[in-house]
Amino acid sequence: MTLSLPFLMFQGRAQEAVDLYLRAFPDAELLELEHHAEGAVAEGGEPVTPGRAGDRLVATAQLRIGGQAMMIQDSLIRHDFGFTPAISFAVVVDTSPEFEDIVEAFTAAGSSFLMEPDDYGFSRRFAWIQDPFGVSWQVNLPLSSGQEESAQARPPVWG
């Protein structure tokens, strides 16, 4: 069996991201968290330092959000690329309060909107959010929400 997981690579802010995602999503689970040794640096590389005082660099973390596992890591090698909104996580919620709570958690953390929360016709409520780390999230309360089956049991109706 082949396994495919989203893999998010940070430069010193992975622990902040893990903390935000665990706060923002009510069903988020931390499956694994290992840190690099203090002072770890790639051979010949410039040291990467944690973005927040007291944090350690994340060697590997695994989260599950909405049934989807993802991997998160702080790279020990500096790179000139980051995240882009061309790739984003689509998050489908069942209720308006769940939608509002997720949007509020991201807003409180300093995220910005690529599309403000609204009814765009293809969805009862939709927001496209770029978090403080550059990862983008499309949060959707579908037109079909409120029915008996949960959002995770079927693909969303977008229009």
Residues 136 and 105 placed together within one structural domain of the fold: yes
In a domain, residue 121? The reply is yes
In a domain, residue 80? The reply is no
CATH of the domain at 36: 3.30.720.100
In a domain, residue 39? The reply is yes
In a domain, residue 52? The reply is yes
pLDDT in tens, 131-154: 999 999 999 999 986 654 444 555
Nearest to 17 by CA among 98, 110, 113, 87: 110
Averaged pLDDT score across all residues of the chain: 90
| Domain containing residue 37 | 7-74
Q: Taking residues 84-103, what's their average pLDDT?
A: 96
Question: Would you say residue 62 has pLDDT above 60?
Answer: yes
Q: Which residues contact 149 (CB under 8 A, 6 or more apart)?
A: none
What's the pTM?
Answer: 0.87
CATH of the domain at 138: 3.30.720.110
Residues 118 and 66 placed together within one structural domain of the fold: no
CA dihedral 58, 59, 64, 65 (to 10 degrees): 40
Question: Would you say residue 87 has pLDDT above 50?
Answer: yes
Q: Taking residues 85-103, what's their average pLDDT?
A: 96
In a domain, residue 2? The reply is no
User: Measured between alpha carbons, how far is residue 103 from residues 31, 47, 48, 98 in Å?
Assistant: 23, 34, 30, 9
Whether the Cβ atoms of residue 88 and residue 134 lie closer than 8 Å to each other: no
Single residue among 74, 101, 127 that ends a domain in this structure: 74
In a domain, residue 81? The reply is no
In a domain, residue 59? The reply is yes
pLDDT at 157: 59
Q: At what angle do helices 14-24 and 96-108 cross, to 10 degrees?
A: 150
Q: How many domains does the chain have?
A: 2
Distance in angstroms (rounded) separating the CA atoms of residues 53 and 107: 22
In a domain, residue 83? The reply is no
Residues comprising the chain, all counted: 159
pLDDT at 149: 46
Instruction: Report the percent of the chain where pLDDT is more than 70.
Output: 90
The dihedrals phi and psi of 118, each to the nearest 5 degrees, come to -170, 175
Outline where DSSP puts E strands in 75-155. 88-92, 112-118, 125-130, 136-141
